[in-house]
A = this chain, B = another copy of it.
Amino acid sequence: MKTPLTQALAAATLLAAGGADAAERKEAQQVVRAGSQASSAGPEANFTGRVKVEMLWPSNERSQASGAYVSFEPGARSAWHTHPSGQRLLVTAGTGLVQEWGKPVQEIHAGDTVWCPPGIKHWHGAAPGTRMTHLAVTGMADGKGVEWLEKVSDEQYNAR
């Protein structure tokens, strides 16, 4: 039996399905031009020294990982942190440092990649004498890509 309510529900369902279908059809290939994305300073609370973050792409429902270039001036570094869903780094310029909690500091160079597994406490930054830029592809879990912890002390930074 078709009551007004079931008819309204059926119409709403059709509309919703049509809307979703249209959205599906509308998702087109998207070119985003160099320099058109926001760039910002790495905040004082989470970084030591001058750090620039250039967003490349956001996480979306279909691809839950954001992309950004992060550039560290000599001596600059992130605070200790973890990634709930992991992170890939690709060094694109300069020489950097990376350290997992409880392990030695390692040098990283242009072309090197780093896999930061979920939940592993670590930091990354430039070496003392050079700038370093890396691409960061950061997995998102429940809308979150990073859990910030305490800063990297000069003693920790220089322990090599």
Contacts and interface: CB of A to CB of B under 8 A. Distances in A.
A88 interface: yes
Contacts of A35: 111
Interface of A: 27-35, 56-57, 60, 62-63, 65, 67, 85-86, 88, 90-92, 98, 100, 103, 106, 108-118, 120, 122, 135, 137, 139
18 contacts: A27-B117, A28-B120, A29-B98, A29-B100, A30-B117, A31-B113, A31-B114, A32-B114, A34-B112, A56-B88, A56-B113, A60-B115, A62-B85, A62-B86, A63-B85, A63-B86, A63-B115, A92-B92
Nearest to A54: B111
A112 B33 contact: yes
A33 B112 CA distance: 5
B62 A117 contact: yes
A67 B86 contact: no
Given A29-B100, A112-B34, A117-B29, A63 B65 contact: yes
